[in-house]
Structure 1
């Protein structure tokens, strides 16, 4: 899974996140490539919720089957 897809599944607007907070975006993207998505979520759980509230994705997201 790519980081951009992960953000979409978490309903985070990747474009806004990367523009407004580029340092955190870059840090998370690099970290994401080194671990499983579930491990990343466990490590960043409360931060992911904060980022989702700040950069909420407006479109509907459907989970891949």
Structure 2
């Protein structure tokens, strides 16, 4: 089964580290990254979808970040 996550973070090195960590755990990039201005907080935000094949059935209780 393929699982999906959307990684988001302020436009900083933390975003790159979050994506790099996911890639090191076997997640794969899915689509293009996004970049938008967060008016409420006055910062640019980044997003990147990632997917991963897992051997367990889907459950809403899954902790996707621990997969």
TM-score band, normalised by the shorter chain?
A: under 0.3
Q: Which has the larger radius of gyration?
A: 2
Q: Which has the higher contact order (CA 8 A, sep 6+)?
A: 1
In terms of fraction of residues, the more strand-rich structure is: 2
Q: Which has the higher helix share?
A: 1
